[in-house]
Amino acid sequence: MRPDEFQHALSPAGEFSSDDKAAVYRAIETRRDVRDQFLAEPLPDELVTKLLKAAHSAPSVGFMQPWNFTLITDEATKQSAWEAFSRANAEAKLMFAEEQQALYSSLKLEGIRKAPLSICVTCDPTRGGDVVLGRTHNPRMDVYSTVCAIQNLWLAARAEGVGVGWVSIFHDADIREILGIPAHVEIVAWLCLGRVDVLYGEPELAVKGWRQRLPLEELLFRDRWGAR
C-alpha cells in the first residue's frame, strides 16, 4: 500500500461558519432528557428515518456497526414495558435514604406511555465476527459504539424538535422477554421519543433540586491524574 494510495478519498474539512457552529452547540447545550413534555402526534416515518441515519453515522469500533433499533408503537408492548419500569422503580426508590424518597417519588422518570414512539437500542457483539479491530483489549468498545449512536440520534432529534428520554430503570430480563431479544444481544437503552414544544432550560434533576451541575474546572487534570 503506497502512502498516497487513498489521497483521492480525502476531502476538505475545515471549521464550520460561526452560524453553523452555533447550531451545533445549540443542539448540544439545549438537548434534554425528556420525561413528560412529549406531544401525542405520531412522528412521520421520514423524520424517524433521518434520526436513525444520524445514529447509523456514529463511529464504531472496527466499523462493526453493532447496533439494532427496535421501533415500538404498539400500545400493549409499551404498557408491558411501563409495568416493567414501575416494578423496578419501586425497588429503586427503596435504595435511597428515607429523607430522599419523597423527592424521588415526585420525579417522573419515564415517558413510555406518553411518548408516541419508543426505540429499544441493542448491541450485537457477534456482528463483526469473533475478532474485531480495536476490541481485543477493550471488550466494551462495541457497547460504547452503540452509545455514540444514541447520542447522535439524541442531538439530531433536538434539532428536529423531537424530545428523547433514556429509560434505564428496568430488569433486563423483562425487556428481553417483552421484545423477544436473543440472549447474546445486549440491551443498551429504551428511548422514548416525541415532538416537544418546551424543554427545561437546565437539566430536570437540577431544576427539581436533586443534584446540581459540577464546575467543569474541578473535573480537569493536566498530564497526570490529580494535577492541575
- 4 is a contact residue toward a copy of itself (CB under 8 A): no
CB of 161 to a copy of itself, least distance (A): 3
Applying CB under 8 A, which of residues 111, 114, 125, 170 lies at the interface with a copy of itself?
170
The helix (run of H) or strand (run of E) holding residue 168 is none
The 8 Å CB, 24+ separation contacts for 219-224 are: none
Is 179 in contact with 71 (CB distance < 8 Å)? no
Applying CB under 8 A, which of residues 38, 62, 111, 112 lies at the interface with a copy of itself?
62
- 86 is a contact residue toward a copy of itself (CB under 8 A): no
- 183 is a contact residue toward a copy of itself (CB under 8 A): no
- 44 is a contact residue toward a copy of itself (CB under 8 A): no
CB of 145 to a copy of itself, least distance (A): 9
In whole angstroms, give the CA distance from residue 71 to residue 191. Answer: 10
Applying CB under 8 A, which of residues 112, 115, 181, 193 lies at the interface with a copy of itself?
181
CB nearer to a copy of itself: pick between 15 and 46: 15
Applying CB under 8 A, which of residues 112, 115, 150, 193 lies at the interface with a copy of itself?
150
Applying CB under 8 A, which of residues 4, 44, 182, 184 lies at the interface with a copy of itself?
182
Applying CB under 8 A, which of residues 43, 115, 156, 192 lies at the interface with a copy of itself?
156
5-34 residues in contact with a copy of itself (CB under 8 A) are: 6, 9-16, 19-33
User: What does DSSP assign to residue 108?
Assistant: -
Applying CB under 8 A, which of residues 42, 53, 86, 101 lies at the interface with a copy of itself?
53
Is 158 in contact with 31 (CB distance < 8 Å)? yes
- 58 is a contact residue toward a copy of itself (CB under 8 A): yes
In whole angstroms, give the CA distance from residue 42 to residue 210. Answer: 32
**With left for phi above 0 and alpha for psi between -120 and 50, is residue 154 left, alpha or beta?**
alpha
In whole angstroms, give the CA distance from residue 214 to residue 228. Answer: 17
117-146 residues in contact with a copy of itself (CB under 8 A) are: 122, 128, 131, 133-138, 140-141, 143-144
CB of 148 to a copy of itself, least distance (A): 5
Q: Pick from 203, 118, 152: which is nearest to 27 by CA?
A: 152
In whole angstroms, give the CA distance from residue 115 to residue 191. Answer: 10
CA distances from 213 to 33, 70, 205 (A): 15, 33, 10
Is 44 in contact with 50 (CB distance < 8 Å)? no
189-208 residues in contact with a copy of itself (CB under 8 A) are: 189, 196-203, 205-208
